[in-house]
Each structure stands twice: as structure tokens, then as C-alpha cells.
Amino acid sequence: MSIKDAYTNGFGISFEIFPPRSDQGDAALVEHLEKLLIRAPAFVSCTYGAGGSTQSRTIELCRMIQERWDVPATAHFTCVGATRLELVEWLKSAEGAGIRNIMALRGDAPVGQTEFKAVEGGIQYANYLVELIRDQFADFGIGVAGYPEKHPEAPSLDVDIENLKRKVDAGADAVFTQLFYINDHFFRFRDRAEKAGVTIPIIPGIMPITEFARVKKIVSLSGTAIPAELLSSLEEIQEDKQAQFDIGINYTIQQCRNLVEEGIPGIHFYVMNRSEATLQILDAL
């Protein structure tokens, strides 16, 4: 199934994983995927490390998912550290592995750099990456990123949505948002994007809250807003892991219920290579 077909015949769910760094991690991921894939997702997407450090592993995992479970896979793909020719060669490798869906991203600036700069002969913005894929691999499904609370480098949400529209006009099939915990931020983003002419599906990205320490890290790294009452509740019981999990999952269940009631076409779960939280949420929904 292509990304462009994932939301045409009903509600679509998808799961995002990352390449483990050990054989033990690989075995654990397979165990969790066995449980998740029973839920018949539209696809599973796989990231790769900073600077493309796990690009080959991303292709390997996508191939395994498709061959072992007959579930479509989507490979993440960025502009970081590569020329246009090198990007095309990677896409050919993905195509040769049977991958037909790409998550096209600019990528973060390499460690030590304050802003993203394309290498000589490379690509500076994600919309040009989408153009490249659409021009040379016309049948690929293409997903792009959206930012309900705006991209950290964008001066305003309106400017960020203008950039999103460029990616859509270049040939993207669906928008997948960064994680968020306040639904009004998503609805505001969705409404402004639609007003700007974005007509492709906009899929909310959900990362279940499972522990206080992770929430604090998310806030510090991304600036994602989290309701003060929720943070306070988690902080009060930060020594009780199970209570943290229960509070976080109950909050995410209510968050997802509200999104579904408002007519979203699907949910993209950031599962962090685990299954327990996402399965509990899906059971509740």
C-alpha cells in the first residue's frame, strides 16, 4: 500500500520505529512488532540516525517488515550530508529493496552546527527533496513533516505553513505531524494549513506519555507544550513508574478520542520500539 492510498478507504494507523543498536535490541523490536502488526497498520515507518548514520539499517528493517509480515514500510530520508547524486543512489537502493514509501525530511543540522547547510551539490530544503523523488521515482508514496507548534527555525506558524505548502505542491501525499500534547495546537495548525490550500491528509503524530523523565526531556529538546496540570500530576508520583504510565496513557487515550471525534483520517504513533502503551491506547479506542 502506498501512503497516498492509506487514508482513502477508512481510518489509517501507522507506527514509527528506529533501528536498534544491538542484537538484543533487534530481538526486542521483533517481539514488539509481532504484537503491533496484528493491528493491521497502513504502514510502519523507520527512522535513521543523525547524519544518516543508520541509513543501511533503515533499508534492512523496511525490507524485513515487508517480507516477514507483508506490511508496507516507509523509509525516512533526509538531505543531510549528501549530494543530489548520492540521494538518488540511496533511493535506488531503497527501490531495489522493494520500498515504495518515503518520509521526505530536510533533517537536523549536524552536531556542532547552529543551522542546517547543504553540502556542495546537495539539497537545502525538504520541498526540493520531494521534487527530486517525484521527478525520478514517480510511483513512490511521499510523506512530509508538519509542525503543530511550528518548526523551531520558522519565525511564525504562518511562514511554516507556507513552507509546508511548498512540500505539498512539490508532490507530497500526506503530512505527518511532530508530537504534541495539546489538541488545540493541532486543530489550529490543520485549519490554517487547509486554508492555505493543503488538501492532502494531515495525520497527527502521537507519542504516548509513559514516564515523567521522558516528558521532561521532550520539553527540553523540542519545546513541545504539555499541560501544566498533567506535568504536575506526573511529578507528584515520579517515584511510582506504574502510576506514571497509567496517568500518561489515560491522558493519551482522551487525547486520541478527541482527535477521532474531530474527524482525523488516521493516527501516526511514535512507539519508541515498544508496544505496551500503543496497544493499550488502541484497545481503549
What own/partner pairs with CB < 8 Å and gap ≥ 24 does 276-280 have? 277/208, 277/210, 277/245, 277/248, 277/249, 277/252, 278/15, 278/36, 278/208, 279/35, 279/36, 279/39, 280/249, 280/253
Going by pLDDT thresholds of 50, 70 and 90, the confidence category of residue 16 is: very high
C-alpha cell at 246: 497509567
Global model pTM greater than 0.85: yes
- With a cut of 80, say whether residue 19 has pLDDT above it: yes
Q: What is the CATH number of the domain that holds 45?
A: 3.20.20.220
Number of domains forming the structure of the chain: 1
Q: What is the pLDDT of residues 84-125, one digit of tens each?
A: 899 999 999 999 999 999 999 987 756 666 677 767 777 888
16 is catalytic: yes
Which of 16, 67, 115, 162 is catalytic? The answer is 16
Q: What is the pLDDT of residues 199-211, one digit of tens each?
A: 999 999 999 989 8
- Report the distance separating Cα 97 and Cα 12, nearest Å: 24
Give the domain extent around 105.
3-284
- Report the distance separating Cα 40 and Cα 88, nearest Å: 31
Query: How high is the mean pLDDT of the chain?
Result: 91
pLDDT of residue 274: 95
- With a cut of 90, say whether residue 2 has pLDDT above it: no
